[in-house]
Amino acid sequence: MSGILILEQTLNGLQFGLMLFLLAAGLTLVFGIMDMINLAHGSLYMVGAFLAATVAERTGSFVAAVAVAIVGTAIVGMALEMTVLRRLYARDHLAQVLATFALILIANEAVRLIWGPQVPLNTPPALSGPVQLLPGLAYSSYRLVIIAVGLAVAALLYFAVTRTKIGMLVRAGASNREMAIAMGVNIKRLFTIVFGFGAGLCAVAGAMLGPILAVQVGMGESILILAFVVIVIGGIGSIRGALVGAILVGVVDTMGRAFLPALLREFLPPQFASALGPALASILIYVLMAAILFWKPQGLFPARG
């Protein structure tokens, strides 16, 4: 097992994890501050990807595509919050789950009506080739950009949450909402802003992952589960938890899928290894989540004291 292989798989895991972080960050804030389970978060990711694809096709500029996607999805997110989601804060989790599940159905069909079942989104031509990182490792330049963007957003979030006033309000709301309200925070406006911001993050993930995956109806469902696993592992309401959890999930999942089957082949007869390997690799992150919850039932960095 060469060092280059391990390095490359680590980079892959990091790339995957950082994108998960973008989704998880918005999700954990909404959950932490508003105590709301939002299954439609994956749909915002999908809307972001579709918007980016359309703009990229019209203008040929990937940067414009991402920018428009962020703004457009944030607007959609805030509109959604003000009309539908606001009514769910006082309701219990079942109502929230069902209502947001209904939103998934509506979003999927609405997107299908407007755009059709899928649209193409390509990497910007400048980034379609490799970058020679080491002799013997020419890594995709686009994936490196994804990692860079992910880290930049993480830094931006850290700055925003710890150094700005609104960040402080967000942290206050996450750790004790009732107290924040009592202290006079305009909680309604804060919620809307947080939601819009989370939607914007989803759009970045959707636009950046679009060229690697596929921009299609229903693309939010599979990644949504992973995002939930991340925030449960990381601790609900904590952005730091979302970052650590996301990178953990990304790296474990990638490494597991890459090396577990080979590892099993060393110990088990090939018959079992080839059947067990991929299955075990797929459930590895769920096992990880269960294990972490066993030791730290509130996740790694719970926001609430």
Partner 1 sequence: MRRTLLFATLAAAIAFPLIAAPLGWEFYIGFASRVMIYALAASSLNLILGYGGMLSFGHAAFVGAGAYVVGILMAEGVASAWVSWPLAILVAGLLAAAVGAISLRTRGVYFIMITLAFAQMVYYIVVGMKAYGGEEGLNLATRSSVGFGLNLKDDATFYYVVLALLVAGLYGLQRAANARFGRVIEAIRENETRMEAIGFPTYRYKLACFAIGGAVAGLAGALLANQNSYVNPNLLFWTQSGSLMIMVILGGVGTLYGGLLGAIALLVLEEVFSAYTIHWQLGVGVILLAIVLFAPQGLAGLLARRRDG
Partner 2 sequence: MSQRLLSLAALSLALATPALVAPAAQAADKIKIGFISTLSGPSAAIGLDIRDGFNLALKLAGNKIGGLPAEVVVGDDQFNPDTGKQLADRMLKRDRVDLLTGIVFSNIMLAVVPAAFEQKTLYISPNAAPSPLAGKGCNPLFFVVSWPNDAYHEAAGQYATTKGFKNAYLVAPNYQAGKDSLAGFKRYYKGKVVDEVYTKLGQLDYAAEIAQIRAAKPEALYAFLPGGMGINFIKQFVAAGLSKDIQLIVPGFGSDQDIIRAVGEPMLGLFDTAHWSYDLENDANRKFVAEFEKEYKRIPTVFAAQGYDTGLMMDAAVRRAKGNLDNKEALRAAFRAADFKSVRGAFKFNKNQYPIQDYYLRVVSKDAEGRIVNKKIGTVFTNHGDAYVQDCAMK
Report helix, strand and coil shares of the chain as percent, to nearest 5.
80, 5, 20
- Phi then psi for residue 212, to 5 deg, are -85, -40
Write the single-letter amino acid at 16: F
Nearer to partner 2, 60 or 117 (CB): 117
Nearest distance, CB of residue 272 and partner 1, angstroms: 11
Nearer to partner 1, 90 or 163 (CB): 90
Residue 60 touching partner 2 (CB under 8 A): no
Nearer to partner 2, 70 or 217 (CB): 217
Give which of 166, 176, 162, 230 is closest to 33, Cα–Cα: 176
Which ranges in 210-269 belong to alpha helices (H)?
219-234, 239-267
Nearest distance, CB of residue 126 and partner 1, angstroms: 37
CA quadruple 236, 44, 147, 173: dihedral positive or negative?
negative
Q: Give me the 215-254 binding string for partner 2, x by CB under 8 A, dash otherwise.
A: -xx------------------------------------x
Question: Which of 275, 291, 296, 304: binder of partner 1 (CB under 8 A)?
Answer: 275
Nearest distance, CB of residue 88 and partner 1, angstroms: 8
Residue 143 touching partner 2 (CB under 8 A): yes
Nearest distance, CB of residue 282 and partner 1, angstroms: 4
Q: What is the rounded distance in angstroms from the CA atom of residue 93 to the CA atom of residue 190?
A: 21
- Phi then psi for residue 120, to 5 deg, are -80, 145
Question: Which of 36, 68, 69, 258: binder of partner 2 (CB under 8 A)?
Answer: 258
* DSSP secondary structure of 135-200: TTEEEEHHHHHHHHHHHHHHHHHHHHHHHSHHHHHHHHHHH-HHHHHHTT--HHHHHHHHHHHHHH
Residue 156 has, within 13 A of its CA and on its CB side, a CA count of 11
Which of positions 182-221 make contact with partner 1 (CB under 8 A)?
A: 221
Residue 56 touching partner 2 (CB under 8 A): no
Which residues sit opposite 119 in a β-bridge?
215
Question: Which of 7, 64, 97, 151: binder of partner 1 (CB under 8 A)?
Answer: 97
**Residue 170 structure tokens:** 């967000």
Judged by the rule CB under 8 A, the positions of this chain that interact with partner 1 are 31, 37, 84, 87-88, 92-95, 97-99, 101-106, 108-110, 112-113, 221, 225, 228-229, 232, 236, 274-276, 278-280, 282-283, 286-287, 289-290, 293, 297
Judged by the rule CB under 8 A, the positions of this chain that interact with partner 2 are 1-2, 4-5, 8-9, 12, 15-16, 117-118, 120, 122-123, 128-130, 132, 137-143, 211-214, 216-217, 254, 257-258, 278
